[in-house]
Chain A
């Protein structure tokens, strides 16, 4: 009895295990799924599982509709911060790209012009609203001296007014004290470009007779010994008649109000100017009452068609009448002008012309001077 008590536990284990082995073998042998037993187990576990599922659904729903929204809000704020940061970075990158493009243009200009230049960054504007000046970061230590020209890829900007060890003051061309020797690209007429403190400058000392067109390009003339000849300055925007000279407004090509980098001409070399505007031929002026463009085409001897046009009734100049007279005389004599053979008689163009006596004109009396002798009757007076 005592031995049974000692081995009771292990014996029970063996019995239980063997019973389950028999159950296992029975299922395998009979191919029985024990569906009834499974139904009990599932029936016992399912309510618990359903409660768990309901609890989970509630928790998940609460998480999704409340806690997750808190996360979404913080995530939204994070995304907004990221967006702001990315916008700033984007703006900085755009500025860098624009700066790079400007510098590329400046380098391109540097390589294309003969003058020796150096690039300077604009680090400040004028000290007052009336002065049109800028401060650049290159100075005497970089070789920048007063009187040097400053320009951009678009055109000239101004000249160095003062040079300091590490900076220089550049007076812009639209400053009221600025003057630039320029010439008109079309006519090559020279003048002085004066600043007016406004966006546009005044081109002075151009005579009234000069034909100036709106839109005409203006270049530096090199006469002022500051700006090398041939640099682009601006274009004519308005031409008016002044008391002494034409008043020509010129808008500078360079954007003087938003300069970032400029070129300072250390050693100036004159540039080639573009060809001047082609002038109309003056060999044959257009006839009154005829096609205005006709004269420009009649350069050289007239063709037969053009001669016919010349013989038209609209020709009323003295020379035309004389030609018509010669032609009618030649027609009456049966000769053709310019086609007679040699050693033949030339047509008498004085035929039918009645000689007129010389016309006597009385000279006006000069009241202050007493005439020594009055002109005799019939005396010819030369005008």
Chain B
């Protein structure tokens, strides 16, 4: 079994090899599907509105490529698209997901993200980071009346971790064999 934590220098060649597995079109389709489902699912299941599927897509794309610029770009595009579908200003989710994409990709270079448990924990962690950034930007920077509920955020983080466990396994089927 491979160790969970790796040396940054040792991981670099491995990252390039893994990055070739996910086709760019599949990455684009995944991002768009996440946005589309985020809009569509609450129509048939209102509770799905509590989920942040674009965030899961950003994290998955970032840790799959293990490339910080790709993660950052994916996060920015998906975040801005999410902003475009809300009534808020552009950049609110864009900044959040840009930072998340970058961070997830950077962290994936030190953590063995093929391990399902690690990806789940990573998702829960980044969901909390995302919430904190959102509260900071929306409440602190834009002065919006945001009610920060850490308990609810923790519960939703656990939910996203469980969801990531299932979805990331399905997303892995999109990867090409090296």
State the A residues within 8 Å of B (CB).
9, 12-13, 16-17, 20-21, 23-24, 27-28, 34, 37-38, 40-42, 44-45, 48-49, 52-53, 56
Question: B115 in the interface, Cβ–Cβ < 8 Å?
Answer: no
Question: B76 in the interface, Cβ–Cβ < 8 Å?
Answer: yes
Number of interface residues of B (CB under 8 A): 30
- A20 contacts B32, C-beta separation under 8 Å: no
- A17 contacts B98, C-beta separation under 8 Å: yes
Residues of A within 8 A of B35 (CB): 45, 48
Contact residue among B32, B95, B99, B137 (Cβ-Cβ distance under 8 Å from A45) = B32
Question: B69 in the interface, Cβ–Cβ < 8 Å?
Answer: yes
- B142 contacts A28, C-beta separation under 8 Å: yes
Digitize B64-104: 1 where CB-to-A-CB distance is under 8 Å, 0 elsewhere: 00001100100010001101110001111011001100100
Residues of B within 8 A of A20 (CB): 76, 80, 90-91, 94-95, 98
A282 to chain B, nearest CB (A): 99
State the B residues within 8 Å of A (CB).
32-33, 35-37, 39-40, 44, 68-69, 72, 76, 80-81, 83-85, 89-92, 94-95, 98-99, 102, 106, 137, 141-142
Residues of B within 8 A of A45 (CB): 32, 35-36, 39, 81, 84-85
Residues of B within 8 A of A41 (CB): 80-81, 83-85
- B84 contacts A12, C-beta separation under 8 Å: no
In terms of DSSP, what is the predominant structure of the interface of chain B?
A: helix
Residues of A within 8 A of B89 (CB): 23-24, 27-28, 34
- A13 contacts B36, C-beta separation under 8 Å: no
Q: Name B99's closest neighbour in chain A (CB-CB).
A: A17
Distance between Cα atoms of A248 and B162 in the complex (Å): 93
Contact residue among B36, B94, B98 (Cβ-Cβ distance under 8 Å from A52) = B36
Q: Name A27's closest neighbour in chain B (CB-CB).
A: B89
Distance between Cα atoms of A16 and B77 in the complex (Å): 11
On whether A21 and B81 interact (CB within 8 A), knowing A9-B69, A16-B76, A45-B35, the answer reads no
Contact residue among B68, B84, B137 (Cβ-Cβ distance under 8 Å from A40) = B84
Contact residue among B39, B44, B68, B91 (Cβ-Cβ distance under 8 Å from A49) = B39
B38 to chain A, nearest CB (A): 9
Distance between Cα atoms of A21 and B92 in the complex (Å): 8
- B37 contacts A52, C-beta separation under 8 Å: yes
B91 to chain A, nearest CB (A): 4
B130 to chain A, nearest CB (A): 14
